[in-house]
Amino acid sequence: MTGYTTNLILCVPICNYDNDVIGVAQIINKTDGSHSFTEHDVEIFQRYLTFCAIGIQNAQLFEKSIQEFQRNQMLLSLARSIFEEQNNLDCLVSKIMTQARDLIKCERCVVFLLDLECEEASHLEHFGAKPGNYSLEKKASTKNSTDTLAEEVAVTQEQQKDINFTTVFELGSELGVKKINKNVKPSKLLQIAQEVASSTQLLNIADVQVWAASLSRQPSMDSDDGCTDQVPIKSILCMPILNGKKDVIGVAQLINKETGFPFTDCDVATFEAFAIFCGLGIHNTQMYESACKLMAKQKVALECLSYHATASIDDTIKLAQDQIPSAETYNLYSFKFIDFDLSDDDTCKATIRMFLQCNLVQQFQIPYHVRTVLCKWVLSVRKNYRPVKYHNWRHALNVAQTMFAMLKTGKMERFMSDLEILGLLVACLCHDLDHRGTNNAFQTKTESPLAILYTTSTMEHHHFDQCVMILNSDGNNIFQALSPEDYRCVMKLVENSILSTDLAMYFKKKNRFMEVVENGEFDWQSEEKKALLCGILMTACDVSAIAKPWEVQHKMAKLVADEFFDQGDLEKLQLNQQPMAMMDREKKDELPQMQVEFIDVICLPLYKVLCDTFPWITPLYEGTLENRKHWKDLAEKVEMGLTWIDHDKIEIPVEEFFTHKSTKDIEFTVTTLNTTQNSTKKSNTKVSKKHGKHT
């Protein structure tokens, strides 16, 4: 057609330094009219082609380096986008699609996201694997052969039906990103996406029409391509989007190279890297959105909880209108305070009296008669104590009363500011909020949610959290008039004081406190020493039942023991473990000796160092010593064989048993077995016990 006649051709391969053919060069027709190329011509041509090969290879390497640079820049940009757009899935996907389309130079980009809620429902319904929760067990490979592809990606119709896409993002060459929610129409793109999601294999389809025809044994492909602007689909690169667990969360598609050629291996490599970042970003954003929803649900739940956990308006108004008896009426100044005869209403009135007597209501402008904040708070605190046997509202009242007596009668208020007195009373009243009748060790053993939240001082952290929850509830914030600085200080004091009621914390602080005392410390105003003093006072108040009059201490000890035994029963039943002695109901007769050990190890050293430093609280030390005598006497009687073995609970003290039998001699036989070589001799001695004395 051109009129040019080819007479001679010299065709030589172009080889790189590995001797691999990278091209072919041809020279046509000699200009001097010769009828053949000579050996000299071949030699010269080959020399030129050596430099040609070097030039071509360098150009290819340069082109690859440019592509790799662009790819790395794209991935860096994508990584920045992931962290910038974690709070908005739509913006994140739009950025990812735009970058993918511009880098790989294609006409369209589509992203399908799986309906995870539907998958979860299907999972629960069928008790099987999630339909969209596919693990990538085999390495994805590029499929250019339609025959092989048809065999490897074929999936059943039932499997595809289980794959539900809830959202589709589509980006064209001119239009912006179009988002389709819930209403995803059947199309070629959808069916291809379903196949990729179910097979977890990458699809690189050079000709969609040929590929669809090769699947003639499968249900026919929908006639609608799925593109909103009806651009015909020629080639497509489709890849699953995986999260960190290798679960499919979506499918990404690139449609039609701008050059009109199929997608190359380089495109596949770039797209694979894209898909990894895409999966990470989408998963993080979905987790963020899920967390926001959970936070909203939590807020609603807290609002409901706050409503049910706070006192009623009627009870609050009634308490605000009631006359509050004097501190002397309730014997609040005494270390021998007893709450047994107080009604539930009186316990709240006694609490308010302590606030009034310390002038806290006026000093910190706590609404009382008009807005009734103080009354509502006290009633709400009482309501949030569970009806366990010992660590209940009345225990909190006793701890707060002991603190009040230490401040007033024990003259400890001279070492405290008004704000610190407020914080200490609040901490005492709230220090066991929502106690479940089980200790920290039990929470750890059972791997309870509380133990997961807090690895140390588990229950004490929970008590403080409940305290904060009540304060944040509507109409309960008795700290509302405080300045920001005072609020921060009092909340820090309340937290540290509540955490100090963990005996593990006491053992950590005890030596430091004794060291300060032994150095003759008289100034307790530094922040470190004040926190140390408050923590020790909290422990002293928490165990103050040990210093009450014997009839009170004995009853309190039985309540503590019964609560411990209940925990021991749970450990046997739920954990199949043998509880420690103090929680083993079968060892309840060892209670007196365990009380003696508790007094010797914890109570006496604590009260001794306190009364040596602050002599006005000596009654606590003296009361503990007196009760130790009683417990020691009971322990000795138990060793003699006098037990509570016939009672399910520790209800009748040994000395009461003797009191009931005081008019009669109680006789029991002590049998001594002496074993000799050939005989056993029995000696029986009658022992009489009259009015509690040996005869």
pLDDT(283) > 90: no
Report which of residues 202 and 159 the model is more confident about. 202
Q: Which of the four pLDDT bands, split at 50, 70 and 90, describes residue 292?
A: confident
Q: How far is CA 539 from CA 490, 603, 606, in A?
A: 19, 9, 9
Please give the pLDDT value at position 285: 81
Q: Which amino acid is at 384?
A: N
What pLDDT is attached to residue 371?
Answer: 76
**Sheet of 666-675, strands arranged across:** 666-675, 680-690, 693-694
What Rg do the C-alpha atoms of the chain give, in angstroms?
A: 42
* CATH code of the domain occupying 85-117+163-214+232-301: 3.30.450.40
* Per-residue pLDDT at 191: 86
Which pLDDT score, from 0 to 100, does residue 158 have? 54
Q: Is the pLDDT of residue 227 over 90?
A: no
Beta bridge partners of 9: 28
Indicate the pLDDT class of residue 366, thresholds 50, 70 and 90. very high
For residue 416, the one-letter residue type is M
CATH number of 9-70: 3.30.450.40
pLDDT tens digits along 605-636: 999 999 999 999 999 999 999 999 999 999 99
**Mean pLDDT on 4-8:** 84
Whether 432 has a binding-site annotation, put simply, is yes
Evaluate if residue 547 carries a pLDDT over 90.
yes
pLDDT, tens digit, 9 for 90 and up, residues 460-477: 999 999 999 999 988 999
Mean pLDDT of all residues in 479-500? 97
Tokens coding 606:
């604590």
Tell me the C-alpha distance between 620 and 618, whole Å: 5
Helices 418-430 and 393-408, packing angle to 10 deg: 160
126 annotated as ligand-binding: no
Kindly indicate the confidence band of residue 33, based on its pLDDT and cuts at 50, 70 and 90: confident
Domain ranges of the chain: 9-70, 85-117+163-214+232-301, 310-640
35 labelled binding-site residue: no
Contact by Cβ (8 Å): 93, 250: no
Over the stretch 48-76, which tens digit does the pLDDT of each residue have? Answer: 998 999 999 899 899 889 878 877 887 78
The pLDDT value given to residue 503: 94
Coil, strand, or helix at residue 23?
A: strand
Residue 175: per-residue pLDDT? 61
- Of 75-79, 225-229, 281-285, 437-441, the range with the lowest mean pLDDT is 225-229
**Greater confidence, 323 or 666?**
323
CB-based contacts of 209, cutoff 8 Å, min separation 6? none
pLDDT at 291: 87
CATH superfamily of 310-640: 3'5'-cyclic nucleotide phosphodiesterase, catalytic domain (1.10.1300.10)
Judged against a pLDDT cut of 80, whether residue 189 lies above it is answered with yes
108 — pLDDT class (breaks 50, 70, 90): confident
- As annotated, the active-site residues are 391
Is 119 in contact with 130 (CB distance < 8 Å)?
A: yes
User: Do 9-70 and 85-117+163-214+232-301 have matching folds?
Assistant: yes
Does residue 178 or residue 601 have the better pLDDT? 601
Q: Is the dihedral of CA 9, 14, 20, 22 positive or negative?
A: negative
Average pLDDT over residues 540-544: 97
pLDDT at 353 > cutoff 60: yes
Residue 221, pLDDT > 80, answer no
Calculate mean pLDDT across residues 500-522.
89
Asked if residue 18 has pLDDT above 50, the reply is yes
Across the range 576-599, mean pLDDT stands at 93
pLDDT at 224: 54
Residue 658 has pLDDT above 60, yes or no: no
71-93 average pLDDT score: 76
Q: Which residues contact 363 (CB under 8 A, 6 or more apart)?
A: 418, 422
Nearest to 391 by CA among 535, 249, 566: 566
CB-based contacts of 449, cutoff 8 Å, min separation 6: none
User: What is the reported pLDDT for 278?
Assistant: 79
Mean pLDDT of 141-155: 46
Percentage of residues in the chain having pLDDT higher than 90: 46
pLDDT at 586 over 70: yes
pLDDT at 183 over 50: yes
542 annotated as ligand-binding: yes
pLDDT score for 662: 43
With 0-12 / 13-18 / 19 or more C-beta atoms within 10 angstroms meaning exposed / middle / buried, residue 326 is exposed
User: What percentage of the chain has pLDDT greater than the value 70?
Assistant: 81
Quick one: pLDDT at residue 370?
77
Cβ neighbours of residue 5 closer than 8 Å, sequence gap 6 or more:
none
Greater pLDDT, 564 or 129:
564
Rounded CA-CA distance 11/19 in Å is 17
> How would you classify residue 137: left for phi > 0, otherwise alpha for psi between -120 and 50, otherwise beta?
alpha
pLDDT band of 374, cuts 50, 70, 90: very high
Are 130 and 117 within 8 A, CB to CB?
no
State both tokens at 178: 């179009």
The backbone torsions φ and ψ at residue 327, rounded to the nearest 5 degrees and listed phi first, read -65, -35
The pLDDT of residue 174 is 64
Is 50 exceeded by the pLDDT of residue 568? yes
What confidence score (pLDDT) does residue 139 get? 40
Q: Could you give the maximum distance between any two Cα atoms of the chain, in Å?
A: 151
Residues 430-444 pLDDT 10s: 999 999 999 999 999
The pLDDT, as a whole number, for residue 1 is: 60
CA 250/CA 513 separation, integer angstroms: 61
What is the Cα–Cα distance from 130 to 34, expressed in whole angstroms? Answer: 76
Compute the average pLDDT of residues 306-331: 92
| Short-list 415, 402, 602, 431, CA closest to 516 | 415
Average pLDDT over the chain, rounded to whole? 82
Q: Judge whether 395 is annotated as a binding position.
A: yes
Q: Which residue, 470, 468, 428, 465, is CA-closest to 450?
A: 465
413, 428 contact by CB (below 8 A): no
Return the pLDDT at 177. Answer: 67
Contact 506, 540 (CB under 8 A): no
Q: Which of 176-185, 445-454, 675-684 has the lowest mean pLDDT?
A: 675-684
At residue 219, the pLDDT reads 44
User: Regarding predicted confidence, which is higher, 388 or 646?
Assistant: 388
Residue 380 pLDDT > 50: yes
pLDDT score at 220:
44
Task: In whole angstroms, give the CA distance from residue 376 to residue 359.
Answer: 18
Query: Which one-letter amino acid corresponds to residue 575?
Result: L
pTM of the model: 0.64
Q: What share of the chain is helix, strand, coil (3-state, %, to 5)?
A: 55, 10, 30
Hey, which of 197-206, 216-225, 320-329 has the most confident mean pLDDT? 320-329
Residue at token pair 């940009």 = 77
Mean pLDDT, to the nearest integer, of 551-558?
93
Give the pLDDT of residue 136: 38
- Which pLDDT score, from 0 to 100, does residue 216 have? 55
Q: Which of 316-325, 357-366, 444-453, 498-507 has the lowest mean pLDDT?
A: 444-453
> According to the model, what pLDDT value does residue 260 have?
87
Q: Mean per-residue pLDDT for 85-103?
A: 79
Determine whether the annotation assigns residue 392 to a binding site.
Answer: yes
Strands (E), 9-143: 9-15, 21-28, 106-114
pLDDT value at residue 453: 87
Helices (H), 473-600: 484-499, 503-518, 527-542, 550-574, 591-598
